[in-house]
Amino acid sequence: MAISAADVKALREQTGAGMMDCKKALVDTNGDFDAAAKLLKEKGLAAVEKRAERATKEGRLFIRQNGNKIAVVELVCETDFVAKNEEFIACGEKILDEVFAKGYTEPNKELNDVLLDFATRTRENMSLNKVNIINVPDNAAVGQYIHSDKKSGAIVIITGSTDDTVKEFARDCCMHLVAFTPAYTTQKDVPDSYIKEQTEIFKSQMDQDEKMAGKPQNVKDGILQGKIKKHLAEICFTDQMFVKDDKKTVSAKLAEIAKAVNAKLEFNTVKTFLLGK
């Protein structure tokens, strides 16, 4: 039977499939619109299953606060083109809606199914990679930030005050985290095994340095400790020089803000989110 251009267009608008795919589906189903739509969906699902092993190195982070909870959702896909698609973004927002409405704390089939229709139409491998829930304590300032590429973001919660100055500092700390991606929050968080390994590395480098030859052992020990101290300051958030004031460390800036608002401030939550990590 003859397939009209209007029918092909209508099927395309409903399913999102390509024009030629829509025409073929109508031909294969003798013009049965519903059957053609079902056939296209089945083909789309089959294509998605075939691509399930394809790498998903692109995607997008979503962060939203609702009352005393913050949800972070990570969606991954194959291409940057899809990651920027409005429907893909809408899926992320809908997943956040479901997370808050039903109290989900990790990915599940229901949340992944939000992506299913879009995945079948684009025939691209995509999935909900992470769901993180962070509780906000009372009397706390929240900072959140997602970089313009939507692939990196951070959340910082500071307890002790809800002053706008503290909130601004918390958000600036988020920008700091995304810019410098420190490995640890404080030196107390650094494992002894890491310090031991790094000490051995520095010691080996010093042993191979001709300038170190002949120096007294106590001098070498002092230089070694200095190297360790400098390295820890570079990898620990609170010891790094603050992104908006390179004359002060993050901890010194926190103390300055605390004095300004006359409150005892402490970092409660310091988290960096990087797509795929």
Provide the b/e sequence for 62-93 (b: ≥16 CB within 10 Å).
bbbeeeeebbbbbbbbbbeebbebeebeebbe
pLDDT score recorded for residue 216? 85
What Rg, from alpha-carbon coordinates, does the chain have? 27
pLDDT score recorded for residue 242? 97
What is the DSSP code string of 40-82? HHHHHHHHHHHTTTS---EEEEEEEEETTEEEEEEEEES-HHH
Minimum mean pLDDT range among 24-33, 162-171, 204-213: 24-33
* Whether 137 contacts 267, CB under 8 Å: no
SS3 call for 209: coil
122 vs 166, more confident: 166
Closest CA to 261 of 159, 138, 161: 161
pLDDT score recorded for residue 45? 46
Q: How confident is the model at residue 51 (pLDDT cuts 50, 70, 90)?
A: low
pLDDT score recorded for residue 170? 98
Q: How confident is the model at residue 43 (pLDDT cuts 50, 70, 90)?
A: low
Is the pLDDT at 94 greater than 80, yes or no?
A: yes
Burial class (CB in 10 A: 0-12, 13-18, 19+), 157: buried
pLDDT score recorded for residue 32? 74
> Distance between CA 182 and CA 179 in Å, rounded?
9
> Distance between CA 80 and CA 104 in Å, rounded?
27
Count the neighbouring beta carbons within 10 Å of the beta carbon of residue 38: 14
Is the pLDDT at 191 greater than 50, yes or no?
A: yes
Q: Residue 50 corresponds to which amino acid?
A: K
For residue 202 the two structure tokens come to 């520095």
The pLDDT tens digits for 17-42 are 666 766 776 677 767 777 776 666 66
* Whether 56 contacts 76, CB under 8 Å: yes
> Distance between CA 21 and CA 27 in Å, rounded?
10
pLDDT score recorded for residue 41? 64
Q: How confident is the model at residue 121 (pLDDT cuts 50, 70, 90)?
A: confident
Is the pLDDT at 276 greater than 50, yes or no?
A: yes
pLDDT score recorded for residue 1? 60
* Averaged pLDDT, 207-227: 85
